[in-house]
Homo-oligomer: A and B are copies of this chain.
């Protein structure tokens, strides 16, 4: 299960097995979407399978995740989603209303995100396989003008911006499974972050050096990948991280770090220092971006690692997610 958790084991699987056998060139850092040249037109493309359990939860369902997740992967690669294609692997005996609810959720999420669904495919497998349904969404998009996301362009002194509170999605799923005797008024943060990204891009274009949506593996894993790809250190200020009480409480009970918990409607950006005020201003003015903050900065040291300075003057290294404390989160 750890190989699917988006942390260390996932990265080893991708770098050790998939990339050498599938990808022509291993020199580019792995991003959220590939940008290709197509007869002179740049196209961004990304694909994701969704296997979240349960199918629906406070604040969303697999259908919305499948649209928003793909729109967001394009957004943080610096592209606006234009069209999606989708496949459903359905379990025999799936009640039609369950399927219809998710198809409807996808249609509505797509319409909200301003993206067309251009086609799809359906397969049916035997009862007991596929936990009702797995959905795979692929999106193609158009690069945002003037935005170029590349971890190799990150410099010491750049600021780390985070769009809002962390851990809502992961802890919501955990609670929705009902395996813990915990209740909290918490909802998944699933949404399209494209409007936020576009607002920031418009205000700061070339000032954005890198973006990522910290889904599986959380903020810590995304920033560790960045640290590795740019060879610099990331230093976070713990008190700047917004964490709701319900998320903090559940994490404390379970011995989890909110920095490792999945988000579905947040994004991280590295912004050149001279553009930080403009970026933050644009983000905060955009509906849904009010809680965006600078949470840290890039430094020469600790090279390749993420350090969190705590509110009591201490500091700790935060690694990528190891193992899989919360399987099947998206």
| A residues with CB within 8 A of B | 1-5, 10, 13-14, 17-18, 21-24, 33-34, 36, 38-41, 43, 45-51, 82-83, 85-90, 92, 96, 99-100, 103-104, 106-107, 110, 116-126, 128-131, 134, 136, 138, 140, 142, 327-328
Contacts and interface: CB of A to CB of B under 8 A. Distances in A.
A140 B83 CA distance: 12
- Of the candidates A117, A124, A128, the one having the most CB atoms from chain B within 10 angstroms of its own CB is A124
16 contacts: A1-B124, A3-B124, A4-B125, A5-B124, A17-B96, A34-B119, A38-B142, A43-B140, A46-B119, A47-B85, A49-B134, A51-B123, A123-B328, A125-B131, A128-B129, A129-B130
Contact of A39 (B17, B121, B142): B142
A138 B49 contact: no
A39 B140 CA distance: 13
Copies of this chain present: 2
Given A34-B85, A34-B119, 16 more contacts: A2-B124, A3-B90, A3-B122, A18-B103, A22-B107, A22-B117, A22-B120, A24-B116, A43-B43, A45-B138, A48-B121, A87-B136, A123-B328, A125-B131, A125-B134, A140-B140
Given A103-B17, A124-B3, A140-B45, A89 B134 contact: yes
Contact of A122 (B14, B24, B89, B123): B14
A123 B40 contact: no
Contacts of A4: 90, 122-125
B45 A119 contact: yes
B46 A85 contact: yes
B89 A51 contact: yes
A87 B73 CA distance: 14
Nearest to A24: B116
A139 to B, nearest CB: 9
Contacts of A2: 124
A17 B95 CA distance: 13
A119 B1 contact: no
Nearest to A93: B1
A83 B87 CA distance: 18
Contacts of A124: 1-5, 327
Contact of A129 (B48, B121, B131): B131
A89 B92 CA distance: 18
A33 B49 CA distance: 20
A113 to B, nearest CB: 13
Contacts of A21: 100, 103-104, 106-107
Contact of A1 (B82, B121, B126): B126
A1 to B, nearest CB: 5
A100 to B, nearest CB: 6
Given A136-B87, A328-B125, A120 B41 contact: no
A130 B128 contact: no
Contacts of A122: 3-4, 10, 13-14, 18, 49
